[in-house]
Structures are given as structure tokens and as C-alpha cells.
Chain A
Amino acid sequence: MKISEVVNKTGLEALTSWDDEELTGVYISDMVSDIITGATGCGLLLTLQTHKSLIAAANLVDVGAVVFARDKRPAADVVELAEKAGIALFSTPVDTWSYAAKLFELGMR
């Protein structure tokens, strides 16, 4: 599923510029040490974590897009780092579980 489809159907707010890449799956985690062992390339990462470490981990495993639940927003230097790394950041006002359910309803696995 393309990022644009997920953005439009789940009402995401973009926090960075983004390319309309194909997303291959979903991973949910708030621990960067877990993300580097579990997340897959070009997947959507759903998290509450807004620390710079998250971008370092997401870049290492080639995450396609990061969605922050519960309207979490990273600091400006984190957004800048994501822009440099080419990682698309989005925010959703809903909680992690509710957003995961939306993705499931869209057919993402």
C-alpha cells in the first residue's frame, strides 16, 4: 500500500516532506533496541517515541514511514534529522491501538 493511501485513509498529518513509497508492513514499538531487531525495510513504524535515537534506528533498518500516535510531535532537531535521512514522519491524534486497528481494516499486515 502506498504512503499516500495510508495518509488519506487514516488522516495523517505530515511533519516532513515525503515520497510516495510502497509500504510493505507495519511494526509497533517504543524501544529503539527492539526496532533494530524487529522492524523491516519500507515498513510503517507506529510509535510514541520521539527521541533522536528513533531516527538513528529507523534509518538503520530503512523504515518507510514513522507515525507518532496520540498527537506526539518530535522536536525541531529530530524533524531536521529525519529530513536529512529521508524518513517520512507523520502524526495521528488517535492512540496506538486505535491506529493499528485502522491499518488492519485497510488490509495492512
Chain B
Amino acid sequence: MSTCAHSWSMTGIRSGYLVVEGCYHCGARSSFFSTEPVAPVDEYREGAHFWEHLAGYQAVTFDLRCDSCGKTIDLSDMMGLMLSTCDDPGCEVGRLSLELGKKTSIYVALCADSSHAGGACVSDAGVKALTEYFNQRLHSRRRSIVVVPCKMCDRIDRCTGIVIADTGLTDFY
């Protein structure tokens, strides 16, 4: 087990598009990060799903690397970050927000499959490193940031929050 008190930096910053798709058959949502010059908008069938394009946002993805020990955390399973505004006591994120109070901002790390049908989400190591990284960047000692995986939301499709994405910048394509 590492004894390094990691000092994280962003590495492998990739610019591209966060593409959101929906299945008009079952209502499922899926997203992926595309580095193509123009975000794909094709409809296609994948198994039982009929995916259609819902939205595309300019976005970035990145990994984290410890400046001290060189450990790298792969964050390719994270599609974006959302500032949670949830205060629903019926949702685990909402309960956490109520418990931690106004001085703590909760950011939800969004994975590709909002249904979590396959059980996968942003890794625990990724969530831990993101929390450490963003708190290391804070100059204001009176506040803190907590990053949680989107599987913690009661229903991510209905979750209230603000996704960090460049909304509207691809509307002319």
C-alpha cells in the first residue's frame, strides 16, 4: 500500500465532445466522449437499443498524475462533472449535501451509462483522486469539495445539478 500523500496534477487532457444518446425503444441514456473533429450524430442499433443523438457538448477529459510518486489515475470512465444542487433526503447525494452543509460543494462524476445496468461507474480510485485533487487546488480553507460517483444518485436522469459542459456551442453543426 502506498504511503505517498499524493500531489495530483491533470495529465492527458483531451479536448472533444461529450455526446449524449437516448434509446427511443426503452428510454435508456448513454454518453461517450468523442475526439472526432465533428461530433457524431448518427442513429444506430446496438443489441436491443436504438440509439439516437440527443445532445453534444464541447468538453474535455483528463487523467490525474501524482507529482510525487508518478502514480496515474485513468479517468477515461468519467464523462463529465456535475455540481449537485440536490437536497432530496430520499437520495444519497441529497442526504450527503444536507449533512455536509453549505461550505461543501458536491460534484457528481458522471459515467457513460446512467442506468448502471452493467454495474460499472467511475472508479472508487478515480473519485478519491478527484476529491483530493480539487481540494488541493482550493485556496479558500473555509470550504471543501467532495466528488461522488453518479451511481450514488437515486436516479441520475432526474438528479438536479449543473453539468460542466459548453452547452450550445455545437448547435450550428
Contact = CB atoms under 8 A, between A and B. Distances in A.
A60 B165 contact: no
Contact of A59 (B13, B105, B139, B169): B105
Given A33-B164, A55-B162, A62-B140, 15 more contacts: A32-B166, A33-B15, A33-B60, A41-B137, A51-B167, A53-B162, A53-B164, A56-B82, A56-B83, A56-B163, A56-B164, A59-B83, A60-B83, A62-B139, A64-B139
A32 B18 CA distance: 13
Interface of A: 24, 31-34, 36-37, 40-42, 51-53, 55-57, 59-62, 64, 81, 84-86
B59 A33 contact: yes
Chief secondary structure at chain B's binding surface: strand
Q: Which 6 A-B pairs have the closest CB atoms?
A: A56-B83, A41-B139, A56-B162, A42-B139, A33-B60, A62-B138
Contacts of A37: 10, 13, 60, 62
Interface of B: 10, 13, 15, 58-60, 62, 81-83, 102, 105, 107, 134, 137-140, 143, 145, 162-167, 169
Nearest to B105: A59
Contacts of A57: 164
A85 B137 contact: no
Interface centre among B137, B162, B163 (most CB of A within 10 A): B162
B165 A84 contact: no
B98 to A, nearest CB: 14
Given A59-B83, A59-B105, A60-B105, A33 B139 contact: no
Contacts of A59: 83, 105
Contacts of A64: 139
B164 A86 contact: no
Contacts of B102: 84
12 contacts: A31-B58, A32-B166, A36-B81, A37-B10, A41-B139, A41-B140, A60-B145, A61-B134, A61-B137, A62-B137, A86-B140, A86-B143
Nearest to A43: B139
A70 B82 CA distance: 28
Nearest to B83: A56
